[in-house]
Chains A and B, each alone.
Chain A
């Protein structure tokens, strides 16, 4: 049975490649044509799409998926041999990376973007800063001492560097 399944998997390899967008134009056309003409292939393609949706958390409308997965599990022999970890990138990692990038972009773009600052280089203490630090002590937590500060020049958009 296992052999049959592996042979079956091999026959449908171009479906997963089609889903990943890794086929050439010619290969994609061939895969779509096969998909159009073969109900079994259509079912397998739907199954792959469902698995992808499940991994992405888009699984609200998948009637019978659990039943199908469990039935397929029951049909399979148990393999006790260690499974070699595939080296290729998994879709899950790509999803996580994409989500992370989206969150980072969202946070970055939520900051005041008109004049975002970027540190350039450390500079000596500006001459007239100390009176301000002392005056702020009226409200500061350091009651009677001014903190040691270090300074960097920053460039704001719209400002000559």
Chain B
């Protein structure tokens, strides 16, 4: 079924491309002026070759792309924390992008194919595609990035797991070579499935502007490679070069890291729709149209439509709302607070529209137990499915929903939510009946706990009170209040669950010390497993074993903890799932894994997740009707700066 969709999609795209060849290209008036003044080459020369131009005919949810009007400045107020969104997701162009079903389609890459056994992948770039400063985007940019920035870890952060394979416990990197200016070939030691390669959400880019970086890689970071020689530059020379262009960084390491998100810096060229004009720490961050952007709409208009995006930094979200209401900004993003949404609608009436980003979480307020707890009695207890069921049915979810969200959400357990893949009403409501007596019965009969005189359950062996330390990374009072609603139910049945709001919860979890459960973290999220398998396969929560998807591969070390029972079964299905080459063929196994998870209730949840909303002033076109709040779709930025326009 999915295969058919892909074919249809590919056909449409091809049609689009063919159509494009017959059409003349148009550009925004502000660029036309520059062309007339001789500052820019004409639009045909700025875009890739006609057959290679990307023609956009629909949005990611298959909503048709309306032909828009050029012009306008979009303003958005962001709190300082939101700086991240400006710099990362707003202008990211992936090699292969995804529609809202998760089906991939080519984006930066024109096409790719593999050989028979999938050990070699050949990628074709778009001929004539250019960086924002007019330099060509070629295969050199990819090979340079790989050998001079990434593999040698000059760009500082973690390695991209899709680019290496773990063989016999060792990391074996792929090799990349340039076939011609617009073709590269990746060679893997073992077959690499497309679904583990470009179709993962985590291979976000693999290029960098070589013409910018070629004099900025120091010798100290040089790693032998078949293509690029050592630059011979010292650390200091590199730092001095950065200072020349106006970036004062504290070490050569920071210099390399600055290239990780290369579109953040005004000095670095980009292939995104917008060019950042100033430092993200300034109070006003401007993104201006990239004249070399390589996408057009069905009528040949070069995208994007809007001339400029302005981000105004404010101190807190209330000020952002005020600015929206007083028309100082055009959009605002409300996180999990439907009251604000309603208030804005009251204040602005017809002037504002609401757009929902549905959540991909498996329920809100997820609770997860430490299955590798060092206290053996506790470990046995939490590994006992009946304990988890008991903890689930002890809670009155109707009241929880009322207290947490004024009844605006629904009671639910940890399960895929509507409209995500795998949604199933029975799953959502399993173990959600409110029955404290039954809970107590389970604890006494099935878990062997003993009710003490103090009203608390005790372990039969040591006689210790059953008291769990529930770690949580959020340290604000609102979280504590939210948790207190749950705690009362567990107090009522005699199990003590104390919340520990810790700054260093990472350290706590990793060291496997001092926590028996985690709340509000380690949650299952993601529209499908492949987004964040870490939680789907709940194996990573102790330092002794590590099953972390996107940087270390997915291995666990059986020396430290033996998987058994359903966990082992889950793990095995997961390994099978990994072996399926096509993403679209994996659904069956995925549902199988979900069933195991639901049956075992390793995760508890109490409410459906409230959606997040975009409040948008009326008059903006091409706003997608459905949006899934997910990394693979760029979270909040999925509405697409490069396609919206002012009507």
A and B: partners?
Answer: no
Q: Which residues of A contact B (CB under 8 A)?
A: none
Q: Which residues of B contact A (CB under 8 A)?
A: none
